[in-house]
Amino acid sequence: MTDVNIFVRGVAHDLNNQIMILLHALDRVLMMCPDDPDAKYAMKAAEDCAKLAGQLLPNNRERRIFQPVSLKAAVSEAAMFVRPLLPAGNRLEVDCRSDCTIDFAPFEMQQAITNLCLNAVDAMAGPGVIRLSTERSSASATISVADTGPGVPPELRERIFEPLFTTKSNKGGNGLGLALVKELVQKSGGTISVHDVLPHGAEFRISLPVFL
Ligand SMILES: Nc1ncnc2c1ncn2[C@@H]1O[C@H](COP(=O)(O)OP(=O)(O)OP(=O)(O)O)[C@@H](O)[C@H]1O
Ligand SMILES: [Mg+2]
Mean pLDDT of 84-110: 91
Residues forming a β-bridge with 42: none
The pLDDT, as a whole number, for residue 6 is 73
pTM: predicted TM-score of the whole model, two decimal places: 0.82
Pocket test for ligand 1, best of 131, 160, 192 (most atoms within 8 A of CB): 160
Ligand closest to the CA atom of residue 172: 1
Q: Is the CB of 167 under 6 A from ligand 1?
A: yes
HEC assignment per residue over 75-123: HHHHHHHHHHHCCCCEEEEEECCCCCEEECCHHHHHHHHHHHHHHHHHH
Which ligand 1 atom is nearest residue 204's CA? 1
- Per-chain mean pLDDT for the chain: 90
**Distant-in-sequence, close-in-space partners of 25: CB < 8 Å, separation ≥ 6:** none
Nearest partner of 116 among 155, 88, 152, 71, judged by Cα: 152
The pLDDT, as a whole number, for residue 17 is 84
Ligand closest to the CA atom of residue 145: 1
Q: Is the CB of 148 under 6 A from ligand 1?
A: no
Q: Is the CB of 119 under 6 A from ligand 1?
A: yes
User: Is the CB of residue 180 less than 8 Å from the CB of residue 165?
Assistant: no
Pocket test for ligand 1, best of 178, 180, 195, 204 (most atoms within 8 A of CB): 178
Distance CA 23, CA 113 (A): 24
The pLDDT, as a whole number, for residue 56 is 79
Which ligand 1 atom is nearest residue 173's CA? 23
Mean pLDDT of 83-103: 93
Q: What is the pLDDT of residues 2-61, one digit of tens each?
A: 666 777 777 888 888 888 889 989 989 999 999 999 999 999 999 989 888 888 776 665
Nearest partner of 196 among 150, 131, 158, judged by Cα: 150
Pocket test for ligand 1, best of 147, 168, 181, 185 (most atoms within 8 A of CB): 168
